Chains A and B, each alone.
Chain A
Amino acid sequence: MEPILQIKNLTHTYGIGTPFQRSAVEDMSFEVYGGEFLGIIGHTGSGKSTLIQHLNGLLKPTGGQILLNGKDIWAEPKKIRDVRFRVGLVFQYPEYQLFEETVYKDIAFGPTNQGKTGEELDRCVRESARLVGIRDDQLDKSPFELSGGQKRRVALAGVLAMEPEVLILDEPTAGLDPAGRENLMANIRDYHRNKNKTIILVSHSMDEIAQNVDRILVLKSARVLMSGAPAEVFARAEELITAGLDVPQVTRIAMALKARGMDIDPAVYTVEALEQEILALRKGGAPC
């Protein structure tokens, strides 16, 4: 598979030459493949937000390179706007960026900047609104009349409407209630499945990552600690825990059972897999 994004020795230092100098990203290298659902986790301050702002050219690397489809995104600084249309970034708490009179106009801001007009614009706006579960009658409302969760959906639709090849979400479910969280994640999963677009999800919640992504990138103090399929990453649970991170609840249960001497793979991370493991044990006749 061809990587859609290649990050090569990326380094970012804030406040160079001031007393507040600080490296937020240090020598990170990894690839993102077309169509994959990549999860990024890391402790608070590990550089997640800084990293993803490089991927669409909002921050300029102080060292290293980012290749989009094999081309350095900073090769032509004048064309950086095109990169931003191709790599859509939804910020943490994106509801604070809304500004238009109506939901419809706000969603249309991105595609209008892209130069879309008329029917194409209308199609983009309505389709992305539908994708995130905004009803048609809400499109003519002021975005400020909506609830927090609905505002966030509008902001997400505003980025989806640009039809980016890669969608980056920075903690999209932070501050939502459990039902709203699951609901939004379901929308995102559907989008991934139906459109087959690349998604990068930044999250604090191990469970959310475990349930959704194909591959995980773990960051620790500005560096990549590990990367791989969820099963590979959760197999190194001890390391994750020493890095100050959590493991999914299911993995914790499996680890506890294993510690009690049961023959269970401690790296399982979905309820179904754990169920299979336990059922297999019972068939084997071991005492439960």
Chain B
Amino acid sequence: MLKDITLGQYFPGTTVAHKLDPRTKILLVVLYIVALFCAKSLVTYGLMALCLAVCVYISKVSIKALVRGLKPVLFIIIFTGILNLFFTPGDRYLVEWGFLHISDTGLRNAVFMVLRIMLLIMGTFLMTYTTSPISLTDGLERLLNGLKKLHVPVHELAMMMSIALRFIPTLIEETDKIMSAQKARGADFESGNLIQKAKALIPILVPLFISAFRRADELATAMECRCYHGGEGRTKLHVLQYQRRDYIALALGVLICAGVIVLRQFGL
């Protein structure tokens, strides 16, 4: 049950999609999002979907895993779809039934909106599926390096993020273990009303928090023992370096994004 959460899960691989510099991938996702919000016709949406399909094909990530990523936001997708479908005024009504009516613009908006959210999520998930959390934060830190001049603690934020990401699986495992242990003592998480259910969480949350604090404490000590003192003067073991493939990928990304914007100007 808890293990079904795929958020930020990484599927190791050796494809070009895996080998790209994390900064390239982050920038490509940003470009993709920009293009997605500029798209407003069937042609451009088709282009966006095609781009994603090609990337998925290159990365060899299974479609199943990608679709599974949509599950947690299924509700939002359906909700947005319905809202757009029924409550968009338009010139021509296709269906009128009581206070419910579907206009042609409504149908159009609903389809595009749903498509947009789905592509957005799948695109981002594709990045997290092909990039390990560590290199992702590494890339983010390098990209935001300029902000250090504005006294934004970029390194510390990146470190916090990578630690948090590193501990998500550990915490999930721990939660599973504690739940099993309490179930073995007859704890019941399924039945009862809302208040009883909330109360049933106490035997899980208390041990979980205690162990999380203990872990944080131990980690801080271990880091200090190895002379960690923040980002000042800290060098990298793996220095990120753009390769030929990164330039090609970025050029393609910019080209497509620009293409979509141009098409928009032509009303497509």
Contact = CB atoms under 8 A, between A and B. Distances in A.
Interface of A: 15, 19, 53, 56, 58, 81, 84-85, 88-91, 94, 96-99, 109-110, 113-114, 144, 158-159, 162
24 contacts: A19-B11, A58-B180, A81-B186, A81-B188, A84-B184, A84-B186, A85-B186, A88-B184, A90-B184, A91-B177, A91-B180, A96-B177, A96-B207, A96-B210, A96-B211, A97-B178, A97-B203, A97-B207, A109-B182, A109-B187, A110-B186, A113-B185, A144-B210, A162-B186
A203 B180 CA distance: 20
B183 A84 contact: yes
Interface of B: 3, 11, 177-178, 180-188, 202-203, 206-207, 210-211
A222 B203 CA distance: 32
A89 B181 CA distance: 8
A254 to B, nearest CB: 39
Contacts of B202: 99
A158 B207 contact: no
Given A96-B207, A97-B207, A91 B181 contact: yes
Contacts of A85: 186
A99 B203 contact: yes
Contacts of B3: 15
A162 B188 CA distance: 15
B203 A109 contact: yes
B184 A91 contact: yes
Contacts of B177: 91, 96
Name, among A91, A96, A109, the residue most crowded by chain B CB atoms within 10 Å (CB to CB): A96
B4 to A, nearest CB: 10
B178 to A, nearest CB: 6
Contacts of B184: 56, 58, 84, 88-91, 159
B178 A96 contact: yes
Contacts of A89: 184
Nearest to B12: A19
Name, among B177, B186, B206, the residue most crowded by chain A CB atoms within 10 Å (CB to CB): B186
Nearest to A89: B184
A110 B185 contact: yes
Nearest to B205: A99
Nearest to A112: B186
Contact of B186 (A19, A91, A114): A114
B180 A99 contact: no
A97 B180 CA distance: 10
Given A19-B11, A58-B180, A94-B181, A113 B211 contact: no
Contact of B185 (A15, A53, A109, A144): A109
A78 to B, nearest CB: 10
B13 to A, nearest CB: 10
A89 B207 CA distance: 18
A93 to B, nearest CB: 9
